[in-house]
């Protein structure tokens, strides 16, 4: 393999919590994999509808919300669609796909300007090519990675063309089953490019029962070399966050600065406050993963007051038998004899006179 190609996805992680064989990929300088925080991808998509002012505002809002990247769509109409597309109306629109894309398509100069603007804001720039010409444009622009949409998941000629650039690829898998995904994965592995598979349901918006988060486990079993992710079209951020414990380390959501804007994807897009919560929540959930059920040393201060100790609840004379009438359990838990040991105390005799309200010690008993 030429030295200029990126490191394969199966390279052992350098993260100290990692383990050899855990798949990873590198988008720019952002490492993505099971042992790294999820990458949240706000998809600007075509929500700008060709208006660069809207696009720049979304970039600004994504940066302010704490996102690390933004994603656009790259449409070169003459290489993407035939005239028949003028008669095809998407389920979430009232005009043809041709008209939607004609209005939203950006020129190479415009898209390059948005890439530069995003990079000035410290954001990784991604874009989805919908044709060979679009892929060539993005490669000429110097993108660090490619995102391929669900509609192209079984477009093996285009996938092979994009993979020939040798850059990491994120592939959405909506409208495809494991068999058709396998054909795409075969190309990516033959081309030796790092890749991620994003579970997706291509219904806009996706009803919660059809999100099918369990598909992440299916992808993990079928494609162990893939980094997992979610390209979610349900409303809100709930299912995106829920995907994290199931292995998703890429979370893609349509994004808009203003829910009153027009456009077929705006109604299912999250807004800046939701994006902020998604970024914050993704990191919080990631940091909460793992561990075992055991007592932590840091819980000791809470143990000291929250546990209960065995105490006297009445005066006890020397030699008297201890019973529940004279002994019980009360906070705090810093006594020598814990509540769970009460049964070992009852029936024993007092070694000395004991006042009421005292924490018992084993030396008080005989």
Cβ 204 vs Cβ 92: under 8 Å: yes
E-only strand ranges, the chain: 24-27, 30-33, 39-45, 69-74, 124-129, 146-148, 169-172, 195-199, 227-232, 250-254, 309-312, 327-330
Q: What is the pLDDT of residues 11-66, one digit of tens each?
A: 334 333 344 579 999 999 999 999 999 999 999 999 999 999 999 999 999 999 99
| 54 and 159 within one domain | yes
- The domain in which residue 282 lies consists of 24-288
Of 288, 323, 343, the last residue of a domain is 288
Question: How many domains in the chain?
Answer: 2
Residue 345 maps to which CATH number?
Answer: 3.90.1210.10
| Statement to judge: residues 156 and 210 lie in one domain | yes
Please indicate, yes or no, whether residues 178 and 246 belong to a single structural domain of this protein.
Answer: yes
202 and 84 in a single domain? The answer is yes
Q: Kindly write down the DSSP assignment for every residue of 113-175, as one continuous string.
A: HHHHHHHHTT-EEEEEE-SHHHHHHHHHHT-S-EEE-GGGTT-HHHHHHHHTT---EEEE-TT
265 and 141 share a domain?
yes
Percent of residues, the chain, with pLDDT higher than 90: 88
| Residue pLDDT, tens place only, 58-83 | 999 999 999 999 999 999 999 999 98
Q: Which helix (DSSP H) or strand (DSSP E) does residue 58 occupy?
A: helix 52-64
| pLDDT on residue 8 | 35
Closest CA to 339 of 356, 325, 323, 327: 327
Q: Are residues 79 and 49 in the same domain?
A: yes
Bridge partner residues of 138 (DSSP): none
Residue that terminates a domain, selected from 229, 262, 288: 288
Confidence at residue 92, expressed as pLDDT on a 0 to 100 scale: 75
16, part of any domain = no
**326 and 231 fall within a common domain:** no
Distance CA 149, CA 132 (A): 13
Residue 227 belongs to a domain:
yes
* Residue 6 belongs to some domain of the structure: no
Picking from 239, 262, 288, the residue at the C-terminal end of a domain is 288
Q: What is the CATH number of the domain that holds 161?
A: 3.20.20.70
Q: Within a domain: residue 155?
A: yes
Same domain, 198 and 238: yes
Q: Rounded to whole angstroms, how far apart are CA atoms 168 and 190?
A: 13
Q: How confident is the model at residue 20, as a pLDDT?
A: 56
Residue 336 shares a structural domain with residue 194? no
Ranges of the chain with pLDDT below 70: 1-20
């Amino acid at each position: 393999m030429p030295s200029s190609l990126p490191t394969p996805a199966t390279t052992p992680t350098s993260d100290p919590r990692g383990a050899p064989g855990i798949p990873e990929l590198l988008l720019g300088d952002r490492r993505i994999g099971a042992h790294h925080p999820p990458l949240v991808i706000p998809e600007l998509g075509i929500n700008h509808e060709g208006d660069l002012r809207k696009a720049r505002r979304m970039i600004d809002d994504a940066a302010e919300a704490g996102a690390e990247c933004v994603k656009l769509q790259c449409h070169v109409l003459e290489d993407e669609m035939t005239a028949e597309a003028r008669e095809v109306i998407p389920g979430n629109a009232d005009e043809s796909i041709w008209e939607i894309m004609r209005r939203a398509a950006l020129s190479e100069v415009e898209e390059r300007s948005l890439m530069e603007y995003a990079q000035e804001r410290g954001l990784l720039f991604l874009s989805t090519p919908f044709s060979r010409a679009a892929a060539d444009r993005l490669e000429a622009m110097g993108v660090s990675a490619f995102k391929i949409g669900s509609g192209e998941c079984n477009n093996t000629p285009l996938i092979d063309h994009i993979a020939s650039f040798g850059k990491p690829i994120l592939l959405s898998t909506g409208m495809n089953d494991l068999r058709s995904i396998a054909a795409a994965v075969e190309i990516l592995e033959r081309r030796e490019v790092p890749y991620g598979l994003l579970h997706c349901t291509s219904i806009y918006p996706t009803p919660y029962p059809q999100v099918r988060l369990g598909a992440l486990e299916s992808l993990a079993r079928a494609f162990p070399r893939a980094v997992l992710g979610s390209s979610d079209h349900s409303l809100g951020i709930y299912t995106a966050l829920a995907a994290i414990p199931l292995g998703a380390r890429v979370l893609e959501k349509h994004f808009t600065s203003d829910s009153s804007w027009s456009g077929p994807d705006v109604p299912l897009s999250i807004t800046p406050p939701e994006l902020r919560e998604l970024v914050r929540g993704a990191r919080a959930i990631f940091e909460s993963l793992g561990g075992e059920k055991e007592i932590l040393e840091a819980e000791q201060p809470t143990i000291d007051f929250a546990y209960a100790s065995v105490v006297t609840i009445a005066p006890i004379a020397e030699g008297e038998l201890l019973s529940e009438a004279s002994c019980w359990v009360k906070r705090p838990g810093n006594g020598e004899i814990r509540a769970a040991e009460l049964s070992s105390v009852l029936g024993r005799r007092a070694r000395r006179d004991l006042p009421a309200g005292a924490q018992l010690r084993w030396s008080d008993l005989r």
